[in-house]
Structure 1
Amino acid sequence: MGYFKTALLMAAMTALFMGLGYMFGGRGGMLGALVVAGLMNAVTWWNSDKMVLRMHNAQPVGTGDRSGLSQLVAELAGRAGLPAPAVYLIDTPQPNAFATGRNPQNAAVAVTTGLMQSLSREELAGVVAHELAHIRNHDTAIMTVTATFAGAISMLANFAMFFGGRRENGPGPVASLAMMLLAPMAAALVQMAISRTREYSADRAGAQICGNPLWLASALQRIQAGAARIDNAAAERNPATAHMFIVNPLHAYRHDNLFATHPSTENRVAALRQMAQEMGARAEPGATSVPRAGRPGRGPRGPWA
């Protein structure tokens, strides 16, 4: 059902894009809009991982890192049936993480130094598993495409404002102005709705990969608390990437409203706890085996520094 809803939302965004193209240049403009969108998506899809990692100044983590992060990612990737993705570290005190890449063979997982310092090993395993679920579900490619569509729609809306009303039998200036204002907003709403849909799916799949939904539930609560009080300067400079993080790095929403890039953390935690009851998972760390490259994270947070 999640993929069906995502497909419908992406179809709506495509129709909106084609409608703007038609406003701009009739049938020719509609076809031209599709060509432009295809080219933009091809370039962005191919280079999305490099672009996003560069925006956040992410640095690669070697396989011999003493924290054991690379080994943890590799072993959880094996559980998920994935090739081991590249691992990156972002130097920011805000706890957060994201995955990027056009496919599982060209994927990367990036975590912040704040995340490494604030989570236990079990909680970190839950976060990494969530990001691996995004990779396995091809969510990283889907979100790249929707972000590109949203940007292109905003660009076309501005063109339509200046030129749409001049086309013979085209809409008048009032209709063009309305489209300029409403089309980007509608595109953003669709993009956010797709993001929220995929987060719930990745939570469930990530809990299955790491073996205990309560680890991810606990991690989400800690990350939410940290994100609400600690700024992420790179994310603030690049707000279009906010939907990629496991928790919104810009600001928190209490409800799953139309303008939220993520579901509310309370709703996600409730769903994971329900899943834990169904699985019979225990709350204590170590209830289910987790790959251990270093010391287990029991007691004080952050055994990774």
Structure 2
Amino acid sequence: MNFMKTTMLLAALTALFMALGFTLGGPRGAVLALIVAAGMNLFTFWNADKIVLKMHNAVEVDAQSHPDYYGLVQNLAQRGGLPMPKVYLIDMPQPNAFATGRDPEHAAVAATTGLLSMLSRDEVEGVMAHELAHVKNRDTLIMTMVATIAGAISMLANFGMFFRGRNAGIAGLLAVLVAPFAAMIVQMAISRTREFGADRGGAEISGKPLALASALAKITDKAKQGGNPVIARNPAAAQLYIVPSGIKAMFSTHPDTGDRIAALQDIAAQMGDGTGGAIGGETVNMERAPRGSALNPHRRD
């Protein structure tokens, strides 16, 4: 994502804030919305990663609490020539992963417990290499900013539904339109070519494009079943994941999984990856720490 595209996205989101503010409060409402939007944009730039991680109840892990998972990411970061990101674990049975952070020096990667327990080690390497490719390509800032700001617009639109006053009818109509329009902006702003780029980058970092292809097939199969509570609360979060969950193909920010797998097969042929797509091996050690430890997201302090 280049600087111009980021600027255009934030300008569009700010315009939505101002339009809703004008509808609810006239010119003063528009000015107030502009001030709030500017503050939110600045706050999101510095804190979007923290918001997204908190949204998922992600727990940071290290070499002591989860050596296999942490070591796997550490090795991939070294291969990719990247600073070591913070590593997080999400207690969720659905397999998925994402990266966040404003730049490679302030990046974090997260995987769900479902992903680490369901996939082989090679497949997990492929997935986490894909996420590190997002970091390397500096996609993560726009991903996190879009998710948090679009979610905030949706909440503001819902608030407008309950607005009372002389403009209640207009406000109600606008509120109904704003939420889906915000979702459209999310989908339009996040180019599908970004995922192809991260797939290629992940294949180069891990050296196992067919392992990533195998992982995508498995994750997509599970994603069709839905059941992601974060997306249920905030649909804008879907664009963060390596495979979005419960989103219709025509509204997805991601390319069709079949097209991604085909592209990875071409990359494998170029790289000479002769695994044939039959990826086996051990899964990453996902034994959880006892309740009360730093690893358990439901620990009691």
**TM-score normalised by structure 1 residue count:** 0.76
Q: Aligned residues, how many?
A: 284
Mapped pair 1:267 → 2:259 = yes
Per the TM alignment, residue 97 of structure 1 is displaced from its structure 2 partner at its CA by: 0.9
Equivalent in the alignment of 2:215: 219
User: What SS does structure 2 have at the residue aligned with 1:68?
Assistant: helix
How far does the alpha carbon of each residue in 1:197-222 deviate from its partner, in whole angstroms, 9 at most, with x for none?
Answer: 33333223222222343222111111
1:299 alignment partner AA: G
Mark the runs of 5 or more structure 2 residues left unpaired by the alignment: 287-301
Quote the residue 2:178 is aligned against. 183
**Contact kept? 1:214, 1:281, Cα under 8 Å:** no
CA contact (8 A) 1:89 1:113 kept: yes
Alignment partner, residue 246 of structure 1: 242
Once the two structures are aligned, what percentage of the paired residues are identical? 48
**1:202 counterpart residue number:** 198
Counterpart of 2:73 in structure 1 is 73
Q: Point out the more displaced range, 58-67 or 10-19.
A: 10-19
CA distance in 1, matches of 2:237, 2:207: 29
SS of equivalent residue, structure 1 residue 33: helix
Q: Deviations over 1:94-131 (max 9, x none)?
A: 21111122332222111122211222222111111111
Partner of 2:49: 49
**Counterpart in the other structure of 2:275:** 284
| 1:154-169 aligned within 5 A | 154=154, 157=157, 159=160
CA deviation after TM superposition for structure 1 residue 88, in Å: 1.5
Tell me what 1:170 maps to: none
- Alignment map for 1:1-305 (pairs within 5 Å): 9-24=9-24, 29-65=29-65, 67-154=67-154, 157=157, 159=160, 176-195=171-190, 197=192, 198-229=194-225, 231-249=227-245, 251=246, 253=248, 255=249, 257=250, 259-277=251-269, 279-284=270-275, 299-300=280-281, 302-305=283-286
Distance 1:96 1:276, change over 3 A: same
Determine the C-alpha separation between the residues in 2 that align with 1:65 and 1:160: 46
1:266–1:50 Cα change, 3 Å: same
Matched position secondary structure for 2:43:
helix
After superposition, the Cα gap between the structure-2 partners of 1:146 and 1:263, relative to the gap in structure 1 and judged at 3 Å, is: same
SS of 1:84's equivalent in the other structure is: coil
Q: CA RMSD in A?
A: 3.4
The answer to whether the Cα contact below 8 Å between 1:123 and 1:219 also exists between their aligned partners in 2 is yes
Q: Aligned partner of 2:55: which letter?
A: M
Give the unaligned 5+ runs of structure 1: 167-172, 288-296
- The 1:5/1:276 distance shift into structure 2, 3 A limit, reads farther
Q: In the superposition, relative to structure 1, how do residues 26 and 281 fare at CA in structure 2: closer, same or farther (>3 Å)?
A: farther
Higher mean C-alpha deviation, range 21-30 or range 105-114: 21-30
Task: Please give the secondary structure, in 2, of the residue aligned with 1:273.
Answer: helix
Quote the Cα distance in structure 1 between the aligned partners of 2:56 and 2:134. 19
Render the CA deviation track for 1:122-155: whole Å, top value 9, x for unaligned: 2111111111122223322212322343244445
1:252: how far off? 5.1
